[in-house]
Amino acid sequence: MLHEGVPLTRSLTRRGLVGRSVGAAGATGVVGLLAACGGQSQAPQAGAKGGGLALKDQKVTFLHWWTDTLGPGYNDMMNWSATQFKERTGAQVDLVDGKTGGGLNEKFLAMSTAGTPPDVSFMSVVIGRDDYDAGLLKNLSPYIAKMADIGDKEFFDSAKKFRAKGNETFGIPTMGPESLGFIANSGMLSSIGGDPQGKDIKTWDDLTRTTQKLTKANGDDFQQIGLLASNLNLAWLAAWLYGNGANLTNADDTKYLLDAPATREVLQYCSDVFNKHRVSPKLDNPGRPPNARQAMIAGQAAIIYDSSSIGLLNAPADFKYWFLPIPKGPRGSGFASASWTNFVSVAKDSKAPDAAVEWIRWFTSVEAHIGRMKFRPIKGANPRVKLYETPEWKQWVQETPVLGFIPDAARLPGPYPYLRYNRVEGDVAPIMRNILDGKTGVNEGLADAQKKADQIMSEPVRVQ
């Protein structure tokens, strides 16, 4: 869910280390430990019950951001996860609390610099590759080759690119997927004769026609907003590009493709939303609603930029809404999105890498996810595709139907952007806003953005 992990991060103020040891001594269970250099061809699923304590007296430190600061039940579900692992393996997990996203990485860097890196850490999709390029994370491919339960086939394809470099994989998906797209008020769609789930919005032209019908405005004064559009950060730019049959970066991940024909078409269309079609208040419009979700619930906006993990907790019980993927552009072949899936990684200098991998196998498993959800008031998705075949997931969808579009959206192209994300985003976002505000031409702005991105990509990686 959105509140479980924020991929769009900045460096935050460093916090002191907060550690918690969790585990029940004397319990029984087993996991067969398989070191990456071991001679077996296949390890059993981590956490499987058996006849011994394979990791007895070993300890794993786990840096994470799933705490009650995100909502009720997080501390309990983390304690449960560690206790279960102790009962099954004999190993103790020390939980180290950190801030979401960039704030957590700041702690990871501080611990690593001090010579006491956590064995395992959450990694934001927009930070992990930079940490790996800086030599801070372990290549997990030798383990994965011997452990099918953490192989690529267990996860959505969209979860692959940002946790791998060539043939080297440095992360195992653990939260998400979350996919960018639009959320639409079903009642408003029906009021103009449209499909309440937006199934008739298949192309950019369809989106234009629909939002024009939904818009009620007098100049810059909007009584009803057809599409409450936002600035194009790199993630949204990537999503629109996938819908237009293109990519944000080249095939070998060495260059951003900003000054390119498909990108110009995306920027022109998104600029037209504000300046030509006039279905959204401009970004500097003083009457623009500050909160898109609240605006939709209040009937101010018919369609908003959002994601597949939306949870309108304050909406009336009878409020109907649906998720719409990015429609097909002039170069595209179908629907698209941009999906992120945060992951867990092992520190390069971990003192217990084998035990760390076993913890990852358990923590990221479907069984562990289902167990954790009993502590959460809102049931969440998971990057493992097998979750969506379980009776538990089917029951959750019955209770909350909008969960049903999460796996469908995650199967769409393509992955969330990640290369030097924070630095490129910081330089490019103001240019995108000037284009959308009509202050800079599309060609001129994208040429400038390309120069800035090229400069950043030519420099040594900087971890934040």
For 127-176, the pLDDT digits (tens) are: 999 999 999 999 999 999 999 999 999 999 999 999 999 999 999 999 99
pLDDT in tens, 290-311: 999 999 999 999 999 999 987 6
* Average pLDDT taken over every residue of the chain: 89
pLDDT in tens, 300-340: 999 999 999 876 667 888 899 999 999 999 999 999 999 99
Task: Say if residue 62's pLDDT is above 70.
Answer: yes
Distance between CA atoms of 16 and 6, rounded to whole angstroms? Answer: 21
Place of tokens 């939306």: 310
CB 231 within 8 A of CB 429: yes
Tell me the mean pLDDT in the region 25-39. Answer: 31
Q: Classify domain 2-178+340-405 by CATH number.
A: 3.40.190.10
Task: Output the six-digit token pair for 76.
Answer: 């309990």
CB 127 within 8 A of CB 105: yes
CB 211 within 8 A of CB 226: yes
pLDDT given for residue 17 in this prediction: 29
pLDDT in tens, 9-18: 332 222 232 3
Distance between CA atoms of 289 and 282, rounded to whole angstroms? Answer: 11
Distance between CA atoms of 159 and 20, rounded to whole angstroms? Answer: 30
φ/ψ (deg, to 5) at 111: -65, -40
Domain 179-338+415-458 sits in which CATH superfamily?
A: Periplasmic binding protein-like II (3.40.190.10)
Task: Say if residue 52's pLDDT is above 80.
Answer: no
State the pTM of this model: 0.87
**pLDDT level of residue 32 (50, 70, 90 thresholds):** very low
Report long-range pairs for 257-261 (Cβ below 8 Å, ≥24 apart): 258/428, 258/446, 258/449, 258/450, 258/453, 259/446, 259/447, 259/449, 259/450, 260/446
- The gap between the terminal CA atoms of the chain, to the nearest Å, is 24
User: Is the N-terminal amide bond of 177 cis, ω within 30° of 0?
Assistant: yes
Tell me the mean pLDDT in the region 78-91. Answer: 97
Distance between CA atoms of 90 and 52, rounded to whole angstroms? Answer: 9
> Which of 250-264, 309-323, 416-430, 449-463 bottoms out in mean pLDDT, i.e. has the lowest?
309-323
pLDDT given for residue 400 in this prediction: 85
Task: Say if residue 81's pLDDT is above 70.
Answer: yes
Domain with CATH 3.40.190.10 in the chain: 2-178+340-405, 179-338+415-458
Q: What are the distances in angstroms from CA 248 to CA 121, 132, 252, 254, 308?
A: 28, 21, 12, 11, 21
φ/ψ (deg, to 5) at 458: -85, -15
